[in-house]
Structure 1
Amino acid sequence: MTSTASRSHRFDIWAPDVNAITLVADGSEYPMSQRGGGWWTAPGAPSEGEVDYGYLPGTDTTPLPDPRSRRQPEGVHSLSRTFEPSAHKWADGDWRGRELQGAVIYELHIGTFTTEGTLEAAAGKLGYLKELGVDFVELLPVNGFNGTHNWGYDGVLWYTVHEGYGGPAAYQRFVDAAHRAGLGVIQDVVYNHLGPSGNYLPRFGPYLKSGEGNTWGDSVNLDGGGSDEVRRYILDNAAMWLRDYHVDGLRIDAVHAFKDERAVHLLEEFGALGDAVSTETGRPITMIAESDLNNPRLLYPRDVNGYGLEGQWSDDFHHAVHVNISGETEGYYSDFNSLGALAKVLRVGFFHDGSYSSFRGRHHGRPINTGLVHPAALVVCSQNHDQIGNRATGDRLSQSLSYGQLALAAVLTLTSPFTPMLFMGEEYGATTPWQFFTSHPEPELGKATAEGRIKEFERMGWDPAVVPDPQDPETFRRSKLNWGEATEGDHARLLELYRSLTALRRSTPELAGLGFTDTAVDYTEEEGWLRFRRGDVHVVLNFSEQTVKLDDAGGTLLLSTDEATQPDGASLVLAPWSAAILRA
């Protein structure tokens, strides 16, 4: 898109809704003057050096933070501080990036990934992640929020890095270290809403559309009056992560919540931005949308009226795997209660591709044009922050399922035709929950958050007594990984399986390289087994409590989760809740 103006001085601000504004910088006041397009500038303001600053719109007497602030040392309600990204001396000159196809993603939350909860501590685990066999580290949102700990989706200052994690300089060091370790970085970004505390954007201009809300509050103004600059604010932020912080891609949160009726959708502009930065840097840039629309247009090239994104999350895969290994069929899981549902997802990507969704009470989705989309464009998982954290107690699969069931989830995720994503701790069957936690300093907001959480789960039939208080610091502490588990018993056994599966994925091109039409699936609901084939590689899974024998499953055994046997060379015997991978 073409913006009518831009930030030409480091203190310029877009504030079309005020009739006067004053910059406060290092204790001095600088009355600002209009320079067109709703932008204000401050002649004589400090042009260099580190500066603490804020803005006084109209007759305000308390300075507000900069909407484009890079640092908030004292929190989201206090003064901003300048930050010069070019001061970092990058050491990733040899990094050439990573394509999505063939990659494995590892999703983590900085605050709970380590005991310390910092970017520096997370960087200390990069060697472990490399040995695990992942290719991308995907960070949950790191931008500024009110309080000390939060999932990150309550952010209000999108250009900042939370000081508790180490701030922007620590973020640059983390990305640099990841690249030196051979790992790409994907940053989770939220552009569909703002958090409830510290959002001062409406004091400056029409950033939000009052009365047109989504699940989390007022919608961002993507298509109304003044939306040219609002979109530029978003796209400049996306470009900041890609250029100033060298990240390799963005995961764009809940794009189905965007309200955008313009002819060129914001998602198409994200696709174009990624391509432009890729051309500039010579590195692949990966734009991934979180969407529950099952609309493959997000993935189609822009020259055929698509949005040109590299990937999107696929909830259907998660639901089909979850139901078939756990037996849970309530709510949105109800349509996935069969091996047939899993088989369809493996073959065509979406289960709801125009089919009736009982959870929604309507038909949903549309088929993928397999000539335009590679299976790798669908990012899949058996667990993620939402599917765990939005359960009443934040319980992981490992807290209720056996090793065999967890092993089936691992095999399905890491041998599927799609791009696998792991959630931190999944690889060793972490038993620590990942619960919904907040730290709102305002007592009334904290109380409302806790009560709202209880009411949400009461409507779903959960006992309110089991729902943790998100404001209780213990809820946050419980959610931190216990790394000591990784070396014990079945935890260590599961970790070794994950490492073997990622290695097999890298050494077996058929698993990640072939298209949709190269996947064949057969299954038997009664006996509880399913087999899918990618070229001459066969993945066979037993979802039952009984031993299963397949008479036509001969070949070289590449991997098994529980001592699969081939008694006569042409058949395969699988123990209950186990899987085997063969080359036929």
Structure 2
Amino acid sequence: MEILKRSIGVNFNADNGAVIKVWAPDATQVSIDTGTLQLELKPALGGYWSLSTTLIKPGDLYWFIIDKEQRLADPASLGQPYGVHGGSLAINAAYNWTDSSWENIPLKNYIFYEIHTAAFSDEGTFKGIINQIDHLVELGITAIELMPVASFPGKRNWGYDGVFAFSVQESYGGAAGLQELVNVCHQKGLAVVLDVVYNHVGPEGNYLSAFGPYFTDKYKTPWGNAINFDDRGSDGVRNYFIENVLMWFRDFHIDAVRLDAVHAIKDFGALHILEEIRCHTSFLLEKTGRKHYLIAECDLNDPRYITAIGENGLGMDAQWADEFHHALRVTAGEPAKGYYEDFSGIQHLAKSYADAYVYTGMYSVVREKTFGRKPFGKTDDQFVVFSQNHDQIGNRMLGERTSTLFSFEMYKLMAGAVLFSPFLPLLFMGEEWGETNPFLYFVDHSDPELIKQVRNGRKEEFAAMFDQGETPDPQDEATFNQSRLNWKLIGEHRHACIFNYYKKLISLRQEYLTFTAHEAPKVTVLEARNSLLLERKCADPTRLIWCVLNFSAEQFELDIPDHMTLTDELVNSGSSVWLGLSELSSANFNQQISVSPESFIAYSAKYV
């Protein structure tokens, strides 16, 4: 594999000559067809077919013809201007980058902001995100995270039904639009994370099987047959996804990828596909001098995924930690139904602050087995935490955001719990002003039978958790329109307060809690008061940040620990500054402080 340039699909050299390569190991003849021109490819090693020609130009629409019968879009297409059932667009991916001075920030400094491109702005495009970049900079965000942009059916989709891994969704702005967004983000000091899906391929427009053994019936996934990472003929499949990761880093200057649901990747070969992706990524970093990160979504509580290859791990840099979210929600009052049934509240939240995982070898009622393993030796910047994200909102039947499920006071407390955690915080778009529009699940399929299956599947997926009437129709455009951000809210009284509160929390995190050492906080549980005390060390070893998290509806007086002296109240969500319920001030503290109901307080302190 040529690591410094894309070697599959249709690519262009410095003279704009086309270099064409497609994997079709079972074919006896392969041609490329532009409608006015048809050229035969020559067989090459490993089941590939290739051709170099000056007759194919950027801007040409093309198809591959397999054995003179099947006329198919390019699996490695860079553009699908007429959708997933149309032809592929020949694109010269070269871009006039102006981000040469950009250096990816350390992962410990990432403050993620998750975005669905279409629902984020009125435009519903990459340009729409660019128009709001200054808002994100003002907030203090350091990395935007885009939900998947690989081409999917229609114009409305979460992106996890993508079927062309290399092609950027046309309705978002295509390849050039994504490159422009990344370039602008880097100019503004923001990293860009891209969500990629390597555990399945969407059902509509998925023609991969016509080219080769991309799938295997050895394993089943929630989406059908697994992608073939370890069965016969899997080399070309593995190469396809490795090339995809490298393309985002190299040709689109993406700073990190978030690999969706890696626990659903079935690979029992000696070299796991994630390990191979890690190896090729490391080699790319060595050659380019740039820095890129691999972040996994994994629900196995298995630290092997974020363990270095040299220590027999798979080499991912970090992972999402859903159990922190689950414990936080139950502590805040979420009913313990469905997957929340495993979480007891304050004790489990305390355990997550200490270990990231809650289940580290205990019996899980939901899974009906002992589950998980303690992540010994892992650092806090290897875990991403949140109080809400696209899954946790959208997998509710009515797509309710946290702002509509919890009180104003609890909302502020949950923000403090995330942003003052030792882990990497992630916000979901609109969270920073308390957006009230839901984020529902939506699709735009064209197959009536598939639409029916999706509707029924959504009803069945969370029937055990929610019983609130009729499920919103994922196919209905109105479902998507309900899910768009209402930017006008940000100027309204309470929403403006929430925005300024988030700005304050992020500013304090960056000032006090971003430093080299990685050490779990000291956590004290006040179970009778449904409260937690956190001690976070600062760069100055004589100082600390002391946080009080009161999840109860009761006000109480709290003694200051003997080993510290409070110097400043950094933030108190219960104060009138943040439209809190209490007029009491704990700023004139001595040996005792007053803690408002459902409040978050953070103090600067020094050790006695």
1:513 deviation in Å? 4.2
Equivalent residue letter for 2:492: E
Match runs of 1:82-121 below 5 Å: 82-86=90-94, 88-121=95-128
1:26 deviation in Å? 4.4
Farther off after superposition, 558-567 or 378-387 = 558-567
Matched residue count:
576
- Cα distance between partner residues in 2 of 1:31 and 1:158: 25
CA contact (8 A) 2:19 2:52 kept: no
CA contact (8 A) 2:19 2:53 kept: no
- Cα distance between partner residues in 1 of 2:466 and 2:488: 35
- Cα distance between partner residues in 2 of 1:336 and 1:442: 40
- Cα distance between partner residues in 2 of 1:467 and 1:513: 47
- Cα distance between partner residues in 2 of 1:541 and 1:6: 53
CA contact (8 A) 1:143 1:159 kept: yes
Q: Does 1:19 align with 2:28?
A: yes
- Cα distance between partner residues in 1 of 2:280 and 2:359: 30
SS in structure 1 opposite 2:158? Answer: coil
Q: Which residue of 2 aligns with 1:433?
A: 438
1:31 deviation in Å? 2.9
- Cα distance between partner residues in 2 of 1:55 and 1:417: 51
Q: Which residue of 1 aligns with 2:50?
A: 41
Equivalent residue letter for 1:251: R
CA contact (8 A) 1:393 1:466 kept: no
- Cα distance between partner residues in 1 of 2:136 and 2:52: 49
Q: Which residue of 2 aligns with 1:527?
A: 529
1:42 deviation in Å? 4.2
Equivalent residue letter for 1:15: A
SS in structure 2 opposite 1:149? Answer: coil
Q: Which residue of 2 aligns with 1:28?
A: 37
Q: Does 1:505 align with 2:512?
A: no
Deviation per residue, 1:414-454 (Å, 9 max, x gap): 00000001110111110000000001022222122112222
Deviation per residue, 1:278-301 (Å, 9 max, x gap): 323333211100000111111122
SS in structure 2 opposite 1:160? Answer: strand
Q: Which residue of 2 aligns with 1:174?
A: 181
Equivalent residue letter for 2:40: P
Deviation per residue, 1:465-506 (Å, 9 max, x gap): 331000000000000000111111221111111100110011
RMSD: 1.9
Of 572, 579, 584, the match for 2:600: 579
Farther off after superposition, 64-73 or 488-497 = 488-497
Q: Does 1:559 align with 2:574?
A: no
- Cα distance between partner residues in 1 of 2:183 and 2:456: 42
- Cα distance between partner residues in 2 of 1:101 and 1:513: 8
Q: Does 1:305 align with 2:312?
A: yes
Q: Which residue of 2 aligns with 1:469?
A: 473
- Cα distance between partner residues in 1 of 2:57 and 2:443: 37
Deviation per residue, 1:127-148 (Å, 9 max, x gap): 1101111111000000101111
Equivalent residue letter for 2:571: L
- Cα distance between partner residues in 1 of 2:176 and 2:231: 36
SS in structure 2 opposite 1:37? Answer: helix
CA contact (8 A) 1:318 1:382 kept: yes
Equivalent residue letter for 2:604: R
Q: Which residue of 2 aligns with 1:221?
A: 228
1:78 deviation in Å? 0.9
Equivalent residue letter for 2:474: P
Q: Does 1:205 align with 2:212?
A: yes
Equivalent residue letter for 2:531: W
Deviation per residue, 1:146-166 (Å, 9 max, x gap): 111100000000000000001
Q: Which residue of 2 aligns with 1:64?
A: 72
- Structure 1's 494 and 342: CA in aligned 2 closer, same or farther, altered over 3 A? same
SS in structure 2 opposite 1:444? Answer: helix
Q: Which residue of 1 aligns with 2:273?
A: 266
- Structure 1's 430 and 512: CA in aligned 2 closer, same or farther, altered over 3 A? farther
SS in structure 1 opposite 2:19? Answer: coil
Q: Does 1:338 align with 2:340?
A: no
Equivalent residue letter for 2:536: R
- Unmatched runs of 5 consecutive residues or more in structure 2: 12-17, 538-543, 576-584
SS in structure 2 opposite 1:10? Answer: strand
Deviation per residue, 1:195-225 (Å, 9 max, x gap): 0111111001011113522011221110111
- Cα distance between partner residues in 1 of 2:38 and 2:489: 55
Deviation per residue, 1:11-69 (Å, 9 max, x gap): 221101222222212422223332232112346572544321101212426x2100110
CA contact (8 A) 1:110 1:118 kept: yes
Greater per-residue strand proportion: 2
SS in structure 1 opposite 2:242? Answer: helix
Equivalent residue letter for 1:162: Q
- Cα distance between partner residues in 2 of 1:578 and 1:459: 32
- Structure 1's 25 and 558: CA in aligned 2 closer, same or farther, altered over 3 A? same
- Cα distance between partner residues in 2 of 1:332 and 1:437: 22
Farther off after superposition, 317-326 or 168-177 = 317-326
- Cα distance between partner residues in 1 of 2:266 and 2:283: 25
Q: Which residue of 2 aligns with 1:382?
A: 387
1:358 deviation in Å? 1.0
Q: Does 1:288 align with 2:295?
A: yes
Percent of paired sites with the same residue:
38
Match runs of 1:125-524 below 5 Å: 125-210=132-217, 212-370=219-377, 373-460=378-465, 462-463=467-468, 465-509=469-513, 513-517=516-520, 519-524=521-526
SS in structure 2 opposite 1:516? Answer: coil
CA contact (8 A) 2:432 2:499 kept: yes
Equivalent residue letter for 2:443: T
SS in structure 2 opposite 1:134? Answer: coil
CA contact (8 A) 1:376 1:512 kept: no
SS in structure 1 opposite 2:316? Answer: coil
1:335 deviation in Å? 2.7
- Cα distance between partner residues in 2 of 1:149 and 1:421: 24
Deviation per residue, 1:69-124 (Å, 9 max, x gap): 001111111110111111x2101111011111132111110010011100001111
- Structure 1's 430 and 571: CA in aligned 2 closer, same or farther, altered over 3 A? same
SS in structure 1 opposite 2:278? Answer: helix
- Cα distance between partner residues in 1 of 2:277 and 2:50: 28
Of 533, 539, 545, the match for 2:547: 539
Deviation per residue, 1:513-545 (Å, 9 max, x gap): 44235x211121112221010122111111111
Per the normalisation by structure 1, the TM-score is 0.95
SS in structure 2 opposite 1:235? Answer: helix
CA contact (8 A) 1:96 1:282 kept: no
